C-alpha cells in the first residue's frame, strides 16, 4: 500500500523565518518517516494568495493536497499539523479528509503541539532546555496567538502546569485570546522580575511577532511592558527554530503511526 506523510501548517509570507521554522519541521518529519512520500500544505488561503502573487510560488492548500495524494495513489496517509492548538485550522484538516473519506484506506492525524496533559509535560521539558540561560531573578513571557475557539483555555492550563513543574518565572499571554499582555504585569510584579525576556509562542516569528510583539507601536507587547517599568529583552525566534519543539511534533506523529 502506497504511504504518504502530509505536513500541514498555517503558512507564512516571511520567507527567511519560514526556512528556519516550517522548512526545518518538514525536513525533520520527512527524515523520521523515510518510508512515506512527503507532501506539504498550508491552511491559510490568504497567505497562499500573497506568496503566489508576490513571489510566483504555488503551494497546496489542504484541499489541493488531499486531491494530490489521491491522484498519486496514496492509500495510507499520516498527517501531522504544525499548529499549536487543535483549533479552527486543525478542524479544516479533519473536515477535508472527512469529505474525501473514500479516497484513502487509512488516515491518521497527529495532534497539535499542545494536546492533553502529556504534551504539557513535554513542553515543560522543552521550555526548561530552551530558556536554561534565564536567571531566577528574571522572567520569560511567551506570547501566543490566542483564539476565539474554546481551546484558548489551553494557554492558561499550560501556564499552571509550568507552576506545578517548578517553573515559577515563565508566563504565557496571547495576542487575540483572553490572556492579553496586561495580565502578565501583576505576575511580573509578584516575582519582582529584574528583566523580562519576551518571546513568541508561535511556530513562525512572522507578522504577529514583528508587529504585535516586538514593534515600537504603542500597543505592542514590548511597549506595554516598557511602560510598566520593565527592562525588556526580545527573543525573535519562532518555536519551529528549536529542536526541542520539533521533536514534540515528531513524537505526536509517531504516536499516531503505530
- Calculate ∠ Cα 245-152-134, nearest 5°: 45
The pLDDT assigned to 169 comes to 96
Confidence class for position 223, pLDDT limits 50, 70, 90: very high
pLDDT tens for residues 43-61? Answer: 999 999 999 999 999 999 9
Residue ranges in the chain assigned as alpha helix (H): 15-20, 22-32, 45-55, 62-71, 88-99, 116-130, 153-164, 184-191, 207-208, 221-227, 243-257
Residue among 115, 145, 208, 252 flagged as catalytic: 145
**What domains lie within the chain, and their CATH numbers?**
3-113+242-257 (3.40.50.1400), 116-238 (3.40.50.1400)
Strand-by-strand arrangement of the 3-9 sheet: 37-42, 3-9, 76-81, 106-109
Is 252 in the active site?
no
* Residues 51-97: tens digit of each pLDDT: 999 999 999 999 999 999 999 999 999 999 999 988 788 889 999 99
Cα separations (Å) of 5 from 23, 65, 76, 95? 15, 11, 9, 18
pLDDT digits (tens, 9 = 90+) for 3-21: 999 999 999 999 999 999 9
Q: Encode pLDDT of 119-176 as tens digits.
A: 999 999 999 999 999 999 999 999 998 877 676 788 889 999 999 999 999 999 999 8
- In this model, does residue 115 exceed pLDDT 90? no
User: CA 201, 226, 21 angle in degrees (round to 5)?
Assistant: 20
Amino acid at each position: 500500500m502506497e504511504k504518504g506523510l502530509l505536513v500541514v501548517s498555517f503558512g507564512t509570507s516571511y520567507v527567511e523565518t519560514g526556512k528556519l521554522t516550517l522548512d526545518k519541521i518538514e525536513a525533520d518529519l520527512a527524515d523520521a518517516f523515510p518510508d512515506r512520500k512527503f507532501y506539504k500544505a498550508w491552511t491559510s488561503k490568504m497567505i497562499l494568495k500573497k506568496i503566489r502573487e508576490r513571489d510566483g510560488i504555488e503551494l497546496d492548500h489542504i484541499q489541493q493536497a488531499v486531491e494530490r495524494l489521491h491522484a498519486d495513489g496514496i492509500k495510507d496517509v499520516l498527517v501531522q499539523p504544525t499548529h499549536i492548538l487543535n483549533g479552527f485550522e486543525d478542524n479544516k484538516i479533519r473536515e477535508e479528509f472527512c469529505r474525501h473519506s473514500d479516497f484513502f484506506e487509512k488516515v491518521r492525524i497527529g495532534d497539535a503541539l499542545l494536546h492533553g496533559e502529556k504534551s504539557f509535560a513535554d513542553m515543560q521539558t522543552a521550555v526548561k532546555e530552551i530558556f536554561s540561560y534565564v536567571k531566577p531573578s528574571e522572567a520569560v513571557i511567551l506570547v501566543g496567538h490566542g483564539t476565539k475557539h474554546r481551546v484558548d483555555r489551553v494557554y492558561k492550563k499550560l501556564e499552571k502546569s509550568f507552576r506545578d513543574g517548578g517553573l515559577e518565572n515563565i508566563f504565557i499571554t496571547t495576542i487575540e485570546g483572553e490572556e492579553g499582555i496586561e495580565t502578565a504585569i501583576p505576575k511580573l510584579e509578584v516575582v519582582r522580575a529584574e528583566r523580562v525576556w519576551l518571546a513568541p509562542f508561535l511556530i513562525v516569528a512572522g507578522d504577529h511577532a514583528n508587529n504585535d510583539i516586538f514593534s515600537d507601536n504603542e500597543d505592542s507587547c514590548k511597549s506595554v511592558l516598557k511602560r510598566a517599568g520593565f527592562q525588556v529583552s526580545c527573543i525573535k525566534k519562532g518555536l519551529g527554530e528549536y529542536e526541542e519543539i520539533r521533536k514534540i511534533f515528531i513524537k505526536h506523529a509517531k504516536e499516531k503511526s503505530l
